Amino acid sequence: MLYRYKVLSLKRPLLNGLWRRWRGRRGDVVGSYERLPEYIRAHAPGHSFADIGCMWGINGEYSFIAEAAGATSVTGVDVFGPTPEFEDKRRSRGSSVRFVLGDITRADTLAQIGQSDVVFCAGVLYHHPSPFDLLVALRRICRETLILRTSTIPEIDGLPNAAVYFPMLDERARRLWNLRSLGLLHQAGISSEFEPADGYGNWFWGLTPSCLTSLLKTAGFRVDFRATEAFAETVVCATVAPALHHRLPDELEARQLAEEISAAGIARPA
């Protein structure tokens, strides 16, 4: 009940603004969507740059910002095709931004993208049914720096690493996460029922900041910078460990392992 009141309070513009001022006064970096170009311009110069989820609603704008800032090469990636606005701007600028149509969690798309020094991903993570798999994919293409912005939910006191799965919530439960009061007019799967045909257009996960941090660490990143908001986080991360990978044994190894486990008597039904 207290947590529900916390969420409802932070959805009110006045209280949300007071919360932002309070967090700023205590020394936290308070984020906003408008600051993303600042982070891109700080990290793109002299580096190869990949923009994951570059197209929907923004027409490759962040890719062009990275290119203008001095990135050595820029690759934009999306599951949606290049928009007319993107193509027009690429022509008018004489841009060399490369576009890859594909799903980054697929091996063939990863191969097309290759590795980049800096990877930027905004507004994508909460749209993916498996956010950890997406972060692992980002780690596989990232040499040095990840700039990530994602929708989040407020931290739950005493319950670190919590998350909410939005699909199939009833109307009352969905209403709690509807951010129309803060200017977000449509959240597929929240402001309306989950629609399988919409695929990645749906909102799947509400991650708390602690859950997001743990997922990033497990995927091989270290959070070096965080800009917080009541319902979003922007982080700049360094790569510190190889991407998670489970090596499948060949048939002979698998049989030997099965025999060893059986002989040791350590496997029991859950």
Residue 1: what pLDDT?
73
| Global pTM value | 0.92
Q: Which two tokens stand for residue 182?
A: 């803060």
Torsion of CA 16, 65, 150, 80, to 10 degrees: 130
Write down the residue that tokens 């997406």 correspond to.
134
Q: Which two tokens stand for residue 196?
A: 């399988």
**How far is CA 40 from its chain centroid?**
16
Which pLDDT tens digit goes with each residue over 194-226? 999 899 999 999 999 999 999 999 999 999 999
Q: Which two tokens stand for residue 176?
A: 């709690």
Element (H, E) at 21: helix 13-25
pLDDT tens-place values along the chain, 270 residues long: 799 999 999 999 999 999 999 999 999 999 999 999 999 999 999 999 999 999 988 999 999 999 999 999 999 999 999 999 999 999 999 999 999 999 999 999 999 999 999 999 999 999 999 999 999 999 999 999 999 999 999 999 999 999 999 999 999 999 999 999 999 989 999 999 999 989 999 999 999 999 999 999 999 999 999 999 999 999 999 999 887 777 888 888 878 877 877 877 666 665
Q: State the distance between the two ends of the chain, measured CA to CA, in whole angstroms.
A: 34
Which pLDDT tens digit goes with each residue over 98-142? 999 999 999 999 999 999 999 999 999 999 999 999 999 999 999
Residue 238: phi and psi, rounded to 5, are -105, 150
List C-alpha distances in Å: 149 to 76, 108, 125, 212, 216. Answer: 16, 25, 8, 11, 12
Element (H, E) at 47: none
Residue 192: phi and psi, rounded to 5, are -140, 170
Domain range summary for the chain, segments of one domain joined by + = 31-166+204-264
Q: Which two tokens stand for residue 59?
A: 């027409």
Q: Is the dihedral of CA 193, 197, 202, 205 positive or negative?
A: positive
Residue 214: what pLDDT?
98
Q: Taking the domain 31-166+204-264, which CATH number applies?
A: 3.40.50.150
Element (H, E) at 59: none
Residue 241: what pLDDT?
80
